[in-house]
Structure 1
Amino acid sequence: MSTSERLEDLLRELAPQVLGVLLRRYGGFEECEDAVQEALLAAATQWPAEGIPENPRSWLVTVAARRLVDQVRSEQARRRREVTAAVRETPDTNLPPPGEETFGDQDDGLALLFLCCHPALTPASQVALTLRAVGGLTTAEVARAFLVPEATMAPRISRAKQRIRAAGASFAMPSAQEWAERLDAVLHVLYLIFNEGYTASSGPDLRRGELTTEAIRLTRMLHRSLPNDGEVAGLLALMLLTDARRSARTGPDGALIPLAEQDRNRWDAALIEEGSALVTDAMSASSLGPYQLQAATAALHVQAPRAEDTDWEQICILYGILCRIAPNPMVTLNYAVAVAMTRGPRAGLELLETLDSDSRIARHHRLYAVRAHLQELAGEYAAARANYRLAARRTTSLPEQRYLRDRAGKLDR
């Protein structure tokens, strides 16, 4: 790794910590983040020439806080009270020298995650703001993740901050009454970030590594703060067990390789071991939840030495439980595959028919792709070919399009 890459990683790691310190001391999400960005820019300019300070985090806090105070004073001088209302009326300008700041990194990071996942925001805004404020991604990087121009993403993130302010949210852990709802939102946002990174919804690449890496990093941080929460452990296990297969998912030309055809020797054994231990411990020590169940099914897939050794009976049982405690169309879709592998493809196809009237998935390419796969297993080649082609037309992921068209083409022979 080059020096510039190491510096970039350090600044990305420190950015949410510094933002947490400023929010805790001053409040005012938008103003604090602007000050942090100025401090990061100063560090990126000065540190390569002058060297990294002994305590880089305190250096950034000091610079960012001074920028924030300068901004407040300037606004006061011009009789503009907008920022003064967001920041406390008399901010503390007696900053401690580097090294004397008191930090609570894990608590700050957790509180920042909860703030970014405020219920006043839409899921898309929660994801964008989490990537920006907690993940340390630039606005341009967040825009690339959403496949929109930076000029579109910048106001979207700004509006999200404004909604948080309008809702009267503060930089603090939610009350006991809000905890469960907010934690569910945090886990869902991290899950969405990981899924978009693991299988990009559109674009030329199957995977966006920066998103999967960031989702895993943030979930690890959450797990360190909440080590006894079974669903946090379950989500981290699910990510690790899924990400363990990343190097075997595509060929040299970037073509998608389905699970059953992957070279299992290329799977990451260390991630499999860590994820399996996490989900085993979580399921034995806490109430069963949907992320634990999904992690358990992922573990059964990656622990099988060959595709034909997969314990589909156990997977079918787990998906059956998941359908009862957290029903949604994607769970039913996966359950249909497990049913097909244990009771035959016709049984799986019958289960898929229950999704045809569900507006959340009725036109989704995955429904057509799974139906085509099960029809192929049932020997219904003409129907399978038609559904593979329909699925290819409905996805905006180029690797998935190529794979689905190839599957249809093979049935022409």
Structure 2
Amino acid sequence: MADWQTLSDRVNRVEPSATLAVDTKAKAMKASGIDVIGFGAGEPNFPTPDYVVVAAAKACRDPRNHRYTPTPGLPPLREAIANKTLRDSGYEVDPAQVVVTNGGKQAVYEALQVLINHGDEVIIPAPYWTTYPQAVKLAGGTPVEVLGDAEHGFEPSVEALEAARTPRTKAIMVNSPTNPTGAVWSEETMRAVGEWAVEHHIWVLSDEIYEHLTYDGAKTAYIGAVVPEVRDQLIVLNGVAKTYAMTGWRVGWLIGPEPVAKAAAKLQGHMTSNVADVSQQAALTAVAGSLDAVAAMRVAFDKRRTAIVAALNAIPGVECRTPRGAFYAFADVRALLGHPVGPKGSVASSSADLAALLLDEGHVAAVPGEAFGAPGFLRFSYALADDDLDEGMRRFRQWVG
């Protein structure tokens, strides 16, 4: 490009998605004939439930579903999401508070776009989903990371949040069950965070996409239920992708105070207009139905969770806490850094280097902790077939030597 062909500062501030980068490279290696085991993308390997697919196929044949829908979503779907919120979260919302988005990622983007002005700060507990800080930057804000370490279950303390708060603090991101650690925040932590946000007039963005994937008796604590006072400053982010194995259908939503919902719909009207009608019909069938499908998937995920944690802890130099939610194992690999590893005796100075070596030499794809604000760790998604999980762990252990 010529000197005058500059790109916006806005896009230049944003870093590429590390999870998608790992997944893309792994798929490229597979396409070239290399047998790669991918633990990168957070995508259930199960098919979308049959009854959802049948409903979508029926919707495809109805010409009424070949048109634009209202920008904030089909009214029956918005109503179903409101009913689902009452069922799962335990409190009422009006369908007018719901905006259906093209996946959960668009819900995150829109929520920040309608809240954040240039220079506003958003507190993001780390480890965090890699998109959060980038979406804050795109809104002109400044992400402020607050680490919750492994010794404390990756949960942030209110004292740490308060130390990070400034007059520019506008919002905090909450995510439980958590990507990348699989941590499930306790009700006590959720209450403390909610009450702190209410006291200091801070918006709460609660990403609840993994709400139904919990294990060992852990339960998702919904901040809007635990601290009812926070609802006037709460935006819930969710979708069907993880619960119903519908990542490719691209249906998410946000729920917020009605002025926020109207602002998000106004923004979406100039971006993507609406979510595809057929995808919304499929989501309606999923959201309005039972949770039997996710219950079956949770059993399989639980088995894989046990297997991958045991396998990781059996590798010299690797430690992994047992996650209680989502479908990720977040392994501490700091003991492998700075020492020869692999058949070539390669030395990794960071977990990013280690992930690159593991992919290139061991043909195992994992996402480095740098992508999540936690250097020294690797994230392994166990949303893959059992045989692939076993083979990938075997390769990792063999590669370490």
Structures share a fold, TM > 0.5?
A: no
Instruction: Return the index of the structure with the highest Cα Rg.
Output: 1
Range of TM-score over shorter length:
under 0.3
Higher RCO structure (Cα 8 Å, ≥6 apart): 2
Larger relative helix fraction? 1
